[in-house]
Structure formats: structure tokens, C-alpha cells
Amino acid sequence: MYKKAGVKVFAPATVANVAVGYDILGFALEELGDVVIVREGSESGLKIKTIVKNKGLSKDIRKNTAGFAALKLLESLGLENEHIEMDLIKNMNIGTGLGSSAASAVAGAYGVNAYLDYPYTKSEILRFATLGEQVADGSFHADNVAPSLLGGFILIRDNETLDLNKLACPKGLICVIIHPHIQVLTQYSREILQPLVKLEDTVRQSGNLASFVIGMYKSDFELIRRSLDDCIIEPQRAHLIPEFYPLKEMAINFGALGFSISGAGPSMFALCNNSFIAENILEGAKKIYKEKKIKCTTLISNINHEGAMKY
């Protein structure tokens, strides 16, 4: 009997917030992400068969971001009873601040779409992936999902309508990721934020965000450097991350364009325009955490401009 060929897809890890774009700015990494394999199943409906490298995640498709995103896509096509099964290869731990749940959601929706021979465009998948991501934290937001799906730097004007744009991106941007092995719960990291912001800080932050966008369009690294300065979120969250300020000082001194918390943390990112600077920051971070006997994972990555892909 003829069996439909399976597909294997990759969706990248992402850095959200990016210092000055809390909840509305994110970018994708080249070097890290989740993999989903989709193939014909033996029974009716979508099933998650295997989860590799993270046994703790639920295989219930309604409780798993990859499963739920894929299910929503199938339902929209009236194909929820197709015989489909899925393997999820988690290369990231949850709660790292690198968009782990979003990468899975994107890989799930993108994988099923590829398996069905692309009934939807990438942009059309976004809503399903965002619904999948909602399983993880209950809110409908695309600041990780959109860059994971579309690649590059994504600025979201409005999360509700998913009105977003991919920014121009100068050549040569490199990212250093530092992930201390501690857990920061996204929900706690959100709850500690003050609900009100000083008007002057609102003005300052939005000037920095808008200037960051201009810097990207003009390939003006010095403007990007001056703009990556978060006066609202970072000061409220820095204490959740051991040695945040010594790490930041080290990175800035080595020449990072910017250094801040990735998403809700505890991972941190440094944006650089030079691989020597990136190497120095990576070694500097290892040294600081070694002295404090804190385990960490570090990574240097280019920006991923393509987003989710079949391979």
C-alpha cells in the first residue's frame, strides 16, 4: 500500500524583547531550535508519538504547543481525523527564555503544513503557531513565534491582529547567548513587572525602539548601540539572574552593541557586529560563572533569516 512520505522540519530558537521591544520585538537564531517529524499515522487523528530530549513534556496534543498548533491548522482544513503522527525533538529546555515553546509550536504547524504539501503560506501559518504558543502561557502573543516562523527581526505592531513586519537587517550581526542553569518561570517574571510606567520612561523607551528600527534600516551600528538601552523591563528583572550586571558590564566593555535578558530570562543575549567581540564575551561569561560556581551554556549564533524550514 502507498504511504505518504514523511517530512522533517526545523524551527529556530528566538530572542524576544531585545531590550527595547518588550512583547513586540524578537529575532531568530541560526544555531538552535526544535525539530518535528511528521508522517502518516496508524490511527485516526493527530498523535504525538515520541518526544526526544525532554521527557517532561505532555504528549497530549491539546497540552503540547507543537500538537495544538498542528491541530488548529488541521481543523481549519477539516483534516483533524487524518492519520498523522509526529515526533518532537526538543533541543532546548523549557524556561530558558529562548522561545522553546514557540519553536515547538512553529515546528508543529509548519511540519503538518509541509506534510500536506503547503496548503498555507508561511504568513498564514502564523495564527495557528500563535494559538499553539498560547498553550504554554495562556496569552496570545507572537514575539517568539513570528521570528521563529519568518526569520530575522520581527516587530509586532499589534499582537491581536498579528500585524507585524520583518525589519531590514544589516550584514554581520552576531549574537552571543548565555544561559545560566537556573529556572526562571515566565509567569513570575511577568508578575513582578510594575503595571504602570513613568511617562518619561515611556517616551525614552519608545524613542529607543524607533531609533533601533532606524538603525536597522540605515545599517547604523552606532545608532543600534545607543538605542539598545532598556529603562523599563531590565531594571525590574535583572535581580532574577545571577551576575547579570557584571556580565553586562563585561559584554559592553568588550564592545557588544547591546546586552540584555532574552525573553523572560534567565538566558541573556549580546548583539555584536564582530566575531572577535562575540568570542571574547562568550569566554568572559564562562569565566564569571565559573568563579561563582554557576553552571551555564553558551552559544554564538548568526541571525537566522529564513525561519522555519524543511530539511
194: nearest Cα among 162, 231, 221: 231
Residues 6+ apart with CB under 8 A from 48: 59, 60, 61, 64, 66, 67, 85, 86, 87, 88
23-42 residues in contact with a copy of itself (CB under 8 A) are: 23-25
Taking the least distance from each CB to a copy of itself, the nearer of 25 and 296 is 25
141-200 residues in contact with a copy of itself (CB under 8 A) are: 155-158, 163, 165, 167-168, 193-199
Alpha-helical runs (H) found in 34-177 = 65-76, 100-115, 122-137, 145-150
Taking the least distance from each CB to a copy of itself, the nearer of 9 and 216 is 216
The correct pick among 7, 10, 11, 21 for binding a copy of itself (CB under 8 A) is: 21
Smallest gap, in angstroms, from Cβ of residue 158 to a copy of itself?
A: 7
Taking the least distance from each CB to a copy of itself, the nearer of 78 and 195 is 195
Cα separation, 190 vs 198, in Å, equals 18
Coil, helix or strand for 152? coil
Cα separation, 310 vs 107, in Å, equals 9
Smallest gap, in angstroms, from Cβ of residue 296 to a copy of itself?
A: 30
Q: Could you say whether residue 202 binds a copy of itself (CB under 8 A)?
A: yes
Smallest gap, in angstroms, from Cβ of residue 309 to a copy of itself?
A: 25
| Cell representation of residue 176 | 552571543
Taking the least distance from each CB to a copy of itself, the nearer of 198 and 292 is 198
Smallest gap, in angstroms, from Cβ of residue 252 to a copy of itself?
A: 18
Give the burial class of 35: count Cβ atoms within 10 A of its Cβ; 0-12 exposed, 13-18 middle, 19 or more buried: buried
300: nearest Cα among 175, 153, 173, 172: 175
* Choices 62-70, 201-209, 260-268, 274-282 (CB under 8 A): range interacting with a copy of itself: 201-209
38-67 residues in contact with a copy of itself (CB under 8 A) are: none
Smallest gap, in angstroms, from Cβ of residue 77 to a copy of itself?
A: 29
Kindly determine how many residues on this chain lie close enough to bind a copy of itself according to the rule CB under 8 A.
41
Taking the least distance from each CB to a copy of itself, the nearer of 5 and 199 is 199
On the question of a cis peptide bond just before residue 119, with omega within 30 degrees of 0, the verdict is no
| Cell representation of residue 225 | 548601540
Backbone phi and psi for residue 249, each to the nearest 5 degrees, phi listed first: -60, -45
Cα separation, 211 vs 213, in Å, equals 5
Are residues 87 and 81 in contact, defined by beta-carbon separation less than 8 angstroms?
Answer: no
State the residue for C-alpha cell 509541509.
Answer: 114
34 bridge partner residues: 11
Smallest gap, in angstroms, from Cβ of residue 194 to a copy of itself?
A: 7
89: nearest Cα among 75, 107, 69, 74: 107
Smallest gap, in angstroms, from Cβ of residue 245 to a copy of itself?
A: 22
Smallest gap, in angstroms, from Cβ of residue 219 to a copy of itself?
A: 12
57-116 residues in contact with a copy of itself (CB under 8 A) are: none
Site string for a copy of itself, 204-243 (x = CB under 8 A): xxxxxxxxxxx--xx----x--xx----x-----------
263-282 residues in contact with a copy of itself (CB under 8 A) are: none
Contact set with a copy of itself (CB under 8 A): 20-25, 155-158, 163, 165, 167-168, 193-199, 201-214, 217-218, 223, 226-227, 232
